[in-house]
Amino acid sequence: MQNSAIGDFVTRFNDVILNPIIGLLFALALVLFLWGIVEFFWQADSDLARQKGKSHMLWGLIGLFIMFAVFAIMKIIVNTIGAPTPPGLP
């Protein structure tokens, strides 16, 4: 009975709090990456703008990697405690 209560709590916590926050952060990292690409190519004649574009692309990729890692860790935790997989996890 204890495992079921913990599993239900984790499932609801994921559905209500973590999944929306992670989705928002994923979107922000993707926007930052795409903005870096636009900045890199749009102002190709300026070395400073190209450097800023590279920096934005790098930080966007780092953010996307971190969000992917968070999804993987959540999946491992959910599978370890035996809770049903939340809809946002593959």
For residue 51, the model assigns a pLDDT of 92
Is the per-residue pLDDT at 18 higher than 60?
Answer: yes
Which one is predicted more confidently, 73 or 88? 73
Q: How far apart are the first and last CA of the chain?
A: 26
pLDDT at 1 exceeding the cut of 50: no
User: In whole angstroms, what separates CA 70 from the centre of its chain?
Assistant: 7
Instruction: Report residue 3: phi and psi, to 5°.
Output: -60, -35
Q: Is the pLDDT assigned to residue 31 strictly greater than 90?
A: yes
In tens, the pLDDT along 33-76 reads 999 999 988 988 888 989 999 999 999 999 999 888 887 887 88
Q: Which two tokens stand for residue 2?
A: 């204890």
Task: Give the pLDDT band (50/70/90) at residue 83.
Answer: low
